[in-house]
Structure 1
Amino acid sequence: MTTPRDTPASRRSRANGDGTVYQRRDNRWEAAGYVLAPGNTRKRIRVYGTTRKEALAKLTEKIVNSNRGLPVPSAQGSLGAYLTYWLENVAVHQLRENTHTRYTTCISRYLIPGLGKKKLSKLSAKDVRTWLNQLRTTCQCCARGIDTGRDEPRCCAVGSCCSKRLSPLTLAYIHSVLKSALEHAVREEEIPRNVARNVRTGTPRPRRFEPLTADEARQLLTTTQGHRLHALFELALHTGLRKGELLGLCWEDLNLDMGTAAIRRTLQRTNTGGLTALPTKTRASERRIVLPARCLQSLKRHQEEQQHERDTAGTTWQHNGYVFTTPQGRAIDPTNLTRTFTTLLRNAGLRRIRFHDLRHSTATLLLEQGVELVVIKELLGHAHTGVTATVYAHVRLRLQRDAIDLLGNALDRPANDESTRDDGDDPPLCGATVR
């Protein structure tokens, strides 16, 4: 009579559901068992190892994950193939065209060359972290062959690397694109978990911007006086509207009698459609704002001037309903507006800033005037006050410093100061009698 100890290791019986383990003719060990598969079905899988213990450990791990409700990955292709599929069949329906273009550039330039050959089902957090660390220290001039395309090589081709490395913000963006793609793979049950979420790249420092001061803003508005787009720049500084929101503003969105404007769209240039009116950046960006009295007067004058331009153009006028147009009635290209803005800054003797910094200038000046964050959030169209508080944290710190200085002045004031001492002889404050 034989006992289980006398039975060869390859023939020992295992409990029901534990799978089987046996040695192959090539001396490798093979373990097989049923695990959970996508679609709430069960699938028989096989794993291999050089020893019985190694094969059994692999099978046990997969069975444990199956018992936790994690289906076995169905992805058999590479990460590069899945990223291409995700771009062409998923992201194209969920992203704006310009965003999809940036995602495509990021994937074709960095992700596919770096991780594209990895199997999607075998990609690990260590792979992602190792690749990101390598990307962080790699000269992009050399890696992307930029130097070889120059008429006069000046980097690795001449033995002097320019060390043109990616910024932390770009690295965080690449990591974010990978996380988005893998997150959809998890939803489609291609992989059990998103390994990119387990990699920490660090929070990049926000881009520093220097908004216009009140004096500089007044100087800019003085320079734009007499310009055909003076109403646009005045509206930008008073309301903080984005460039696309200003150019996408239609006369039907304005109620000059009530003094309000409805922000419903943004004008952007895309690769396929040219200048296109798109929905606002976020749902919170679709909003109604109050127009200042100065902007109402400027808009009424602008409307009269536009009507004069329309009469002058005659049949060549291209009516589209936009508030701000070219002299022929066409929509204004955002790039052309940037050129005009740069010229006005130079004429005003001001430092060069981005057009978007006008929006930052509006928020900064409002904060310095003591306006509540919730009001600024509604005006700018942020989703919640946390975004406003984060972007303009430097302004809040300066306001805190001013408040602390005021308190320090009050505490440093001598106790016998006649201007602050209360003798108790003054009558109590009371409401004045209304006659």
Structure 2
Amino acid sequence: MTTPRDTPASRRTRANGDGTVYQRKDSRWEAAGYVLAASNTRKRIRVYGTTRKEALAKLTEKIAASNRGLPVPSAQGSVAAYLTYWLQNVAVYQLREKTHARYTTCVSRYLVPGLGKKKLAKLSAKDVRTWLNQLRTTCQCCTRGIDARRDEPRCCAAGQCCHKLLSPLTLTYVHSVLKSALEHAVREEEIPRNVARNVRTGTPRPRRFEPLTAEEARQFLTAAEGHRLHALFELALHTGLRKGELLGLRWEDLDLDTGTAAIRRTLQRTTAGGLTTLPTKTRASERRIALPTRCVHSLKLHHEQQKTEREAAGTTWQHDGHVFTTAQGRPIDPTNLTRTFTTLLRKAGLRRIRFHDLRHSTATLLLEQGVELVVIKELLGHAHIGVTATVYAHVRLRLQRDAIDTLSTALDSPVTVMAASTDGGEPPPCAAPVR
């Protein structure tokens, strides 16, 4: 009588649902079974191994994943093919035009050359980590052929590598683009998991910025007096509005009687439509803010000035309701506003900063005046208070130091306080002042 132990390994009976395992004519072992596929269907798959144990282990792993509800990957194309599909059919409808353009540049410049030839279904965390490490240590001047296109090479083509490496912020941005693309592939059940999420790039240091001090802000406003856009710069420094939000303001958004402004839109230059009015950056950016009294006064003067310009322009006036326009009534190009801002900085004798640093200056000065973080978050239109706390952490640390020093003074012994006062020739105070 034949027992199961006496039966050859290739002919043993397996339980229903465990699949089949057999040896091929080329001496390799093949295992086949049904697993979960996309759209809740079942699909027969085949795996191979040099031994029966290896093939069976591969099949068992896939069946176990199927039993947990993970469908088998259906993507057979390359990473480059999927990234192209994602940019053209998914990201284009979810991102702003400028963001989509940055994503496209990132994909063509870094992702496709590094990972494009790999199969999407076989991409692993090790592949992503190896690619990121290579990207971190490779001279971009040589990799992208910049030096070869120069009239006089001064990098690798000349034998002197300049070691132009990617910054940690750029590296994190490239990694985030890959994570976004693979996350959508998971949602479409093309792959079972997002392998890019298992790779850590580290937390890059935030970009350093040097906001204006209170004295520098006064110098800047003094230099802007008499300029036709004085009200814009005053509003930017007092409210922290973004450049696009300032240029997108319409008179209908302002209530100068109550001193409020509704931030509903932003003005940007796009490749397709030129100067275009778009929704605010986030839903939290759509907000109503209070206007300082001096800004209300400046805006009223600006309104009278605009009426004068409209009468002088005559039929060439093309006003569409914007608060800040050119002398002919057209919207102001953000690039031209930056040039005007740089000119005013030079006139005031101040260092060169970005226009966006006026926004940082507003928040920094408010924090130094003791304004609550939640109030600044609402004024700036941040989506979460954690963004405000992270960006202006250096200011909070300085304020903490001042608070600790104040507390240290308050906790000094009365003898120490009395001795310090006596040395100065003045009578000792009744008690140490505590703020």
Over aligned residue pairs, what C-alpha RMSD do you find?
Answer: 1.1
The structural deviation recorded for 1:320 is 1.3
Alignment partner, residue 200 of structure 1: 200
Q: Secondary structure at the match of 2:310?
A: helix
Superposition deviation, residue 421 in structure 1 = 4.8
Distance in 2 (CA, whole Å) between partners of 1:399 and 1:85 is: 50
Check if 1:320 corresponds to 2:330: no
What residue in structure 2 maps to residue 87 of structure 1? Answer: 87
Deviation at 1:384, TM superposition (A): 2.1
1: distance between equivalents of 2:108 and 2:431?
73
CA displacement at 1:12 relative to structure 2 = 1.4
State how far apart, in whole Å, the 1-side matches of 2:127 and 2:430 are. 68
- Which residue in the other structure is 1:287 paired with? 287
**Letter matched to residue 98 of structure 1:** K
- What is the TM-score with the length of structure 2 in the denominator? 0.96
Q: Secondary structure at the match of 1:99?
A: helix
What's the secondary structure of 2:13's corresponding residue?
A: coil
Q: What is the distance in 2 between the residues matched to 1:151 and 1:323?
A: 47
Matched residue SS, 1:266: strand
Q: Distance in 1 between matches of 2:29 and 2:329?
A: 77
Q: What 5-or-longer segments of structure 2 have no aligned partner? A: 419-427
Measure, in 1, the Cα distance between the counterparts of 2:21 and 2:228. Answer: 82
Which whole-Å deviations, capped at 9, do the CAs of 1:80-136 have from their partners, x for residues lacking one? 101100000000110001100000000011001100111111111111011000100
What SS is found at the alignment partner of 1:404? helix
Q: Find the counterpart in structure 2 of residue 24 from structure 1.
A: 24
Corresponding position of 1:62: 62
Instruction: Give 1:341-360 correspondences, 5 Å limit.
Output: 341-360=341-360
TM-score, scaled relative to structure 1: 0.96
Please show how residues 177-256 of structure 1 align to structure 2 within 5 Å: 177-256=177-256
Structure 1 residue 54 displacement after superposition? 1.1
> 1:144-168 CA deviation, whole Å, 9 max, x = no partner?
0001111110000011000000000
1:183 partner amino acid: E
Q: Distance in 2 between matches of 1:32 and 1:409?
A: 78
264-273 or 405-414: bigger deviation = 405-414
1:105 aligned residue = 105
User: Which runs of 4 or more aligned residues in structure 1 lie more than 6 Å from their structure 2 counterparts after TM superposition?
Assistant: none
The alignment status of 1:420 with 2:420, answered yes or no, reads: no
Q: Distance in 1 between matches of 2:100 and 2:328?
A: 32
CA distance in structure 2 between the aligned counterparts of 1:328 and 1:176, rounded to whole angstroms = 43
Amino acid at match of 2:33: G
Amino acid paired to 2:95: L
What secondary structure is seen at the aligned counterpart in 1 of 2:262?
A: strand
Partner letter of residue 357 of structure 1? Answer: D
Shift of 1:385: 1.4
Counterpart secondary structure, 1:147: coil
SS at match of 2:411: helix
Task: Note the C-alpha offset of 1:26.
Answer: 1.2
- Give the equivalent residue in structure 2 for 1:427: none
Cα separation, partners in 2 of 1:289 and 1:117, compared to 1, 3 Å:
same
Q: Distance in 2 between matches of 1:30 and 1:421?
A: 88
Bigger drift between 144-153 and 412-421 goes to 412-421
Matched residue of 2:164: which SS? coil
2:39 aligns to what SS in structure 1?
A: coil
Q: How many Å separate the matches in 2 of 1:239 and 1:172?
A: 31
What is the CA deviation profile of residues 34-67 of structure 1, one whole-angstrom value per residue up to 9, with x for unaligned ones? 1111111111100111111111111011011011
Tell me by how many angstroms 1:4 deviates: 2.2
Number of the residue aligned with 1:38:
38
In the alignment of these two chains, the number of paired residues is 422
How far apart are residue 413 of structure 1 and its match?
A: 5.0
1:373 maps to which residue? Answer: 373
State the 1:228 CA deviation.
0.4
Q: Identical aligned pairs, as a percentage? A: 85
Shift of 1:5: 2.6
Letter in 2 for 1:419: P
Counterparts of 1:304 and 1:413 in 2: how far apart (Å)?
62
Encode CA deviations 1:157-187: one digit per residue, 9 max, x unaligned: 0110000000000000000000001101111
User: For each residue in 1:357-401, what CA deviation from the matched residue of structure 2 results, as whole angstroms up to 9, or x when unmatched?
Assistant: 000000000000000011111100011211111110000000000
What does residue 431 of structure 1 align with? none
Q: Partners in 2 of 1:385 and 1:181 — Cα distance?
A: 28
Alignment match, 2:137: 137
Residue in structure 2 matched with residue 393 of structure 1 by the alignment: 393
What residue ranges of structure 1 are gaps of 5+ in the alignment? 423-435
One-letter identity of the residue aligned with 1:320: D
Matches within 5 A, 1:265-284: 265-284=265-284
